[in-house]
Amino acid sequence: MNKAESWLEKTLQYRFHDADLFKQALTHRSASNRNNERLEFLGDAVLDFIVSEIVFEARPDAREGDLSKLRSSLVKDETLATLAAELGLGEHLILGSGELKTGGHRRESILADALEAIFGAVFLDRGFDAAKDIIDRVYAARYRELPDGGDLRDPKTRLQEWLQGRKMALPDYELTHISGKDHEQHFIVTCTVTEKSVSTHGESTTRRKAEQEAAQKMTELLVGQE
């Protein structure tokens, strides 16, 4: 734990009064019954509140729907996992042997949950202001680059709206290939717009993400042809 405590102090300028809380925040359920699931639950709520306040103040003219999109973009697992990876959190996770063998320290859901658990642990350790300080440090760059709410529509929605605006049929998505083991699957999806006789491909670790990538490429292709 000394290495993990040094990492936390160096990266986020924080040291726990209760070191056991920090250890619990780093512990995945595969390693112990005393794990980070409850702390993750609490951290999720604290994070939602703090980020809600940030986007509310940053976008005074935004509607509720756009504020919700902005918050969602900041607190979703993908964002949390990216932040955790940038911080180097995975190196300090306490995992069971199975997760260690299968690369659990890089798994999106595990990284996201652990980061939220740290937020929850800080809240219990020193209170709301300390939790806000550490969340603000983690999210500093994201706050500076906060997009407009209208820019957060997912690629499939943007493609659908683009086609509907031109009275064209909706695209077809076909799962064309799956590879890898159950816990490390890789998906390839083809997106086709029949009226334009064009197709694009998307690849990712989930079918949904592969579809989104294919849709993004299709939108860029069609807009470029206009």
Predicted confidence (pLDDT) per residue in 146-189, tens digit: 876 655 678 898 899 899 999 999 999 999 999 987 777 899 99
Domains and CATH numbers, the chain: 2-149 (1.10.1520.10), 155-225 (3.30.160.20)
Predicted confidence (pLDDT) per residue in 132-146, tens digit: 999 999 999 999 888
- 125 pLDDT tier (thresholds 50, 70, 90): very high
For residues 103 and 82, give the distance between their C-alpha atoms in angstroms, rounded to a whole number. 16
For residues 130 and 124, give the distance between their C-alpha atoms in angstroms, rounded to a whole number. 9
> Nearest 10 degrees: CA dihedral of 151, 216, 77, 6?
-90
pLDDT of 103 above 70: yes
What are 188's strand-pairing partners? 177, 203
pLDDT of 14 above 80: yes
Is 203 an annotated catalytic residue? no
Residue of 40, 44, 113, 125 marked active site: 44
Residue of 116, 125, 211, 213 marked active site: 116
Cβ neighbourhood burial of 115 (10 Å; 0-12, 13-18, 19+) = buried
Q: With pLDDT > 90 as the criterion, what percentage of the chain qualifies?
A: 75
- Cα–Cα distances (Å) from 145 to 47, 142, 154, in that order, read 18, 5, 18
For residues 58 and 191, give the distance between their C-alpha atoms in angstroms, rounded to a whole number. 36
Is 116 an annotated catalytic residue? yes
pLDDT at site 219: 93
